[in-house]
Amino acid sequence: MSNDDHWIITRISEARKHHPLVTEVVSDRIGKLLNGQLSEGQLTSTELTSLARKLIADMVLAPPKAEAKQ
C-alpha cells in the first residue's frame, strides 16, 4: 500500500468516526476521487458542483444511525 493510499484510508476512517453522514457510499466515492480525478489537477467550478451534489445525495439517502434504530 502506498503512502497516498494509507493517508486516504486514514482520513476517511477518521471522518466516519466523527461524522455519521459519511456513509460507506460517501467513503467509496471520496476514496476513488482522491485516487483519481481530485489528484489529477484543477477542477472547474462545474465539476466541483457536480461532485458536491453527488456527495450530498450519497449522504441524504442514508438516515443517520440514531434515527435508524428508532
pLDDT of 33 reads 85
The Cα-based distances of 37 to 43, 53, 70 in angstroms read: 8, 16, 38
* CA gap 2, 56 in Å, rounded: 29
pLDDT digits (tens, 9 = 90+) for 12-33: 899 889 988 788 888 888 888 8
Model confidence band, residue 46 (pLDDT cutoffs 50, 70, 90) = very high
